[in-house]
Amino acid sequence: MLKNPRPEIETLDDQAEWCAMPKEELQNNIAWCLKRFANFTDYVDHNQYSSHLNNANHIQYSAVAIPFMSFQGNEQAVHMVRCTGSTRYRKHKPTRNDTVRLWMGTSLDSRFKSTAGCIPTWLKCLFVVEDVELSDTWLDALLQTFAPWPICQTAGIVIVEGRDQPLLQPVPNGSHRHRPVFGVGTNFIVCISPIQCGIHPPPLTPQPDNTRWCLSNLIDLNPFNISKKHFCQGRMATSE
């Protein structure tokens, strides 16, 4: 369930400006998302996806509720993850752009064994695309993956790094129509369903410009993510 809509975002141009991404690149990423998750193969064809996405309603939100199964039980809990961009989170609060776990397949990713193959990502935008012509709606998220750094770490521990990747350049014919890069440290769009839960990776250094965090499979991420304030208690309970 998405919450807190931003009424100033209405069109694809508005969305691209907020995401600091060329309109054509954002359009291409949305089209490939619909191809993969909604099986709309025609959206990758330039004429097809341009005619729909240019006329679709784009509604941006700042929060989404992610359900997940609690640890060692069948009860379902909810993580409310937020993405506020450069806007303050609530009154007198700093900006808040959460990190989440993303499951993109059925095989474990060896680069992220500490998170059971799930990819840690930054939320950069939460939005809905309403296609009036097709009478359909999609809940999407623009994400940026972390890069493992370095690759080899102590068993159970992985260091991740945030990187600002350059924007993709158009293909030789001047179009942005090409498959997005799904590797680490890149931006891409997915439907909200692959997002498993929120994660709070501990920073390696206390400096405000820190770009590296630590993930550990020694801490079960479900109870660990219930609240940041329980981080210390969670570490003590795990060590015992």
Phi, psi of 28 (to 5 degrees): -65, -40
Local confidence pLDDT in tens for the 240 residues of the chain: 788 888 888 888 999 888 888 888 888 888 888 888 877 777 666 566 667 788 888 899 988 988 876 655 566 778 888 888 877 777 777 888 888 888 877 666 667 766 777 888 899 999 998 887 777 888 999 998 888 877 656 666 788 888 777 666 666 665 666 777 666 678 888 898 888 888 888 888 888 888 888 887 666 666 666 554 444 444 444 444
Measured over the CA atoms of residue 87, residue 138, residue 199 and residue 212, the dihedral's sign is: negative
Query: Would you give the distance in Å from CA 75 to the centre of its chain?
Result: 25
156/153 Cα distance (integer angstroms): 8
Task: Please state the pTM of the whole predicted model.
Answer: 0.79
200/44 Cα distance (integer angstroms): 35
Q: Is 39 left (phi over 0), alpha (psi -120 to 50) or beta?
A: left
Domain extents in the chain: 2-239
